C-alpha cells in the first residue's frame, strides 16, 4: 500500500521543522521507498512494515512534544507494486 502521512507536534511553538525532521529521519532509515514534500511524507510497503515506521516516527516526535497530531491517507490495492511511481505515470499519461 501507499501511505501519505503528516505529523504535527503541539506545544512546541509554531516552527516545527526540528521535531518533524526526527520523523523523516525514521522514515529514511527504514529502507522503504519514501518521499517528503511540504505537506506529507509518502511511503510504500505492506501494512505492518509501513505502520511500524509511522509508529516509530510518531514516537520520535512525541519524545520532544507533549502532544502529537497525525494525519494519514492510504491507498490499498492488491497486486500493485511500485505504486508511488506507476500512479503518477498513469496520471501523466492521461494528461499528455
Can you read off the three cell numbers belonging to residue 44?
A: 510504500
Nearer residue to its own copies within complex by CB, 32 or 83: 83
Q: Is 32 in the site for its own copies (CB under 8 A)?
A: no
Nearest approach, Cβ of residue 32 and its own copies (Å): 14
Of 42, 45, 53, 60, which one interacts with its own copies (CB under 8 A)? 42
Question: Is the separation of the CB atoms in 64 and 8 below 8 Å?
Answer: no
Q: Residue 53's closest CA among 80, 77, 34, 75?
A: 34
Q: Residue 73's closest CA among 13, 19, 2, 23?
A: 2
Q: What Cα–Cα distance (Å) separates residue 23 from each residue in 10, 26, 60, 87, 96?
A: 14, 5, 6, 25, 36
Q: Is 40 in the site for its own copies (CB under 8 A)?
A: yes
Q: Is 76 in the site for its own copies (CB under 8 A)?
A: yes
Of 20, 30, 32, 60, which one interacts with its own copies (CB under 8 A)? 20
**Footprint (CB under 8 A) of its own copies, residues 52-71:** 55, 58, 62, 65-71
Nearest approach, Cβ of residue 30 and its own copies (Å): 14
Amino acid at each position: 500500500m501507499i501511505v501519505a502521512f503528516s505529523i504535527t507536534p503541539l506545544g512546541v511553538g509554531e516552527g516545527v521543522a526540528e521535531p518533524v525532521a526526527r520523523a523523516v529521519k525514521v522514515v529514511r532509515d527504514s529502507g522503504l521507498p519514501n518521499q517528503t514534500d511540504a505537506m506529507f511524507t509518502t511511503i510504500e510497503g505492506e501494512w505492518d512494515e509501513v505502520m511500524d515506521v509511522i509508529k516509530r516516527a510518531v514516537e520520535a516526535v512525541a519524545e520532544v512534544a507533549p502532544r502529537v497530531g497525525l494525519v494519514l491517507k492510504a491507498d490499498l490495492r492488491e497486486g500493485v507494486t511500485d505504486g508511488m511511481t506507476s500512479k503518477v505515470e498513469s496520471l501523466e499519461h492521461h494528461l499528455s
